[in-house]
C-alpha cells in the first residue's frame, strides 16, 4: 500500500537558518503530493502541493519539488522565522476518483530567535 | 467562505463511556472524511463519505465506532464504548469534488479517555 516516510524531529533551528525536511514516498501510479502544516492547537492547513513529476509547489517562502526518480518531495525554506514553528506533514493522494490522503508521521520544527 | 466546523473542541470521558463528535463541512463540499490522529503520528483515515454514502470505512473499528452523514451535509462520529487507546484528536475534512484532491481540515476534537 501507499506510505510516506519523513525525517524524525524535532528539527531545531535559529531564525534565518535554511530548512530542509526530507520526505519520501511509496505509491502505485502517479500520486499527488502535499505538505500540510499544523500550528499548536490548530487543524491542518495545506502549505503547498504538486500534482505531477517535476512540479514545484511553493507558498510563504516554502517550496518542494516532486521528484519521481527518487520518489521524494523534500520541503525547503531559505530563511525560517520563529512563526514557522509547527509540525509539518508530508502526504500523498492517489489520483483515483475517491482519493484519500496518506500521511507521514510529521516533523516538528522549532525555530528560536 | 466558512471553514470546516467541529465540536466539541475537547472532551474527557472515562473508559466504557460513549462520546459523539460533530462536523459541518464547507458548504457545497460533497466528500467528507474523518481522521484519527494519535499523539506523535500523522492522521489516519477512519471513514470517507461521498454525499450521504460511505465510500471507504475499511479502517473504522466497527465494533465500537460508527459514523453517519444524513442528508449529505454534516456528520457525526460516535464511539461506544470508548477505550483508553481511543485518546486522540479526531479531524474532519471535506473536499469539493472528485477531480479536486485538496482537502480542507477542521480544528479537530481532542478526546481524552481516562
More confident residue, B101 or B64: B64
Q: Mean of the pLDDT values across residues B101-107?
A: 87
Instruction: Provide, as residue numbers in chain A, all residues whose Cβ is less than 8 Å from the Cβ of B110.
Output: none
Question: What value does the mean pLDDT take over residues A74-94?
Answer: 95
Residue pLDDT, tens place only, B65-76: 999 998 889 999
Angle at A104 between CA B15 and CA B93, to 5 degrees: 65
Question: With an 8 Å Cβ cutoff, are A89 and B4 in contact?
Answer: no
Q: How far is CA B18 from the centre of its chain?
A: 15
Q: Could you read off the pLDDT of A46-74 as tens digits, one per residue?
A: 999 999 999 999 999 999 999 999 999 99
Rounded mean pLDDT of B31-50? 93
Question: So what's the pLDDT on residue B68?
Answer: 95
C-alpha to C-alpha distances, A16 to A11, A39, A81, A82, A84, nearest whole angstrom: 14, 19, 6, 9, 11
| Contact flag B41-A51 (C-beta cutoff 8 Å) | no
CA-to-CA distance for B93 and B23, rounded, in angstroms?
Answer: 9
Give residue A100's pLDDT: 82
Mutation target among B5, B33, B43 for the A interface, most CBs of A within 10 A:
B43
| Residue A42 pLDDT class (50, 70, 90 cuts) | confident
Distance CA(B60)–CA(B44), nearest Å, equals 10
pLDDT, mean over chain A: 93
Cβ pair B114, B86 in contact under 8 A: no
For residue B89, the surrounding DSSP H or E stretch is: strand B88-95
Query: Which residue of chain B has the CA closest to A35?
Result: B102
State yes or no: pLDDT of A24 exceeds 80.
yes
Cα–Cα distance for residue pair A101/A3, rounded to 1 Å: 10
A86 sits in which H/E element: strand A86-93
Residue A89 reports pLDDT greater than 90:
yes
Amino acid at each position: 500500500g501507499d506510505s510516506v516516510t519523513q525525517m524524525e524531529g524535532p528539527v531545531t533551528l535559529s531564525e534565518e537558518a535554511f530548512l530542509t525536511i526530507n520526505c519520501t514516498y511509496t505509491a502505485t501510479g502517479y500520486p499527488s503530493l502535499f505538505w500540510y502544516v499544523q500550528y499548536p492547537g490548530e487543524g491542518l492547513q495545506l502549505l503547498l502541493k504538486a500534482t505531477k513529476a517535476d512540479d514545484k509547489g511553493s507558498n510563504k517562502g516554502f517550496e518542494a519539488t516532486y521528484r519521481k526518480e527518487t520518489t521524494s518531495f523534500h520541503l525547503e525554506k531559505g530563511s525560517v522565522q520563529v512563526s514557522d514553528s509547527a509540525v509539518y506533514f508530508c502526504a500523498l493522494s492517489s489520483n483515483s476518483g475517491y482519493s484519500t490522503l496518506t500521511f507521514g508521521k510529521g516533523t516538528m520544527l522549532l525555530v528560536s530567535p | 467562505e466558512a471553514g470546516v466546523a467541529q465540536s466539541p473542541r475537547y472532551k474527557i470521558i472515562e473508559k466504557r463511556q460513549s462520546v459523539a463528535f460533530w462536523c459541518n463541512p464547507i458548504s457545497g463540499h460533497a466528500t467528507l472524511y474523518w481522521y484519527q490522529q494519535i499523539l506523535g503520528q500523522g492522521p489516519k483515515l477512519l471513514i470517507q463519505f461521498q454525499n450521504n454514502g460511505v465510500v471507504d470505512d475499511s479502517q473504522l473499528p466497527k465494533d465500537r465506532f460508527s459514523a453517519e452523514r444524513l442528508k449529505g451535509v454534516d456528520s457525526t462520529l460516535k464511539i461506544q464504548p470508548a477505550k483508553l487507546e481511543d485518546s486522540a484528536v479526531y479531524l474532519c475534512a471535506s473536499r469539493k469534488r472528485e477531480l479536486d484532491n485538496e482537502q480542507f481540515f477542521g480544528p479537530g476534537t481532542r478526546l481524552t479517555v481516562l
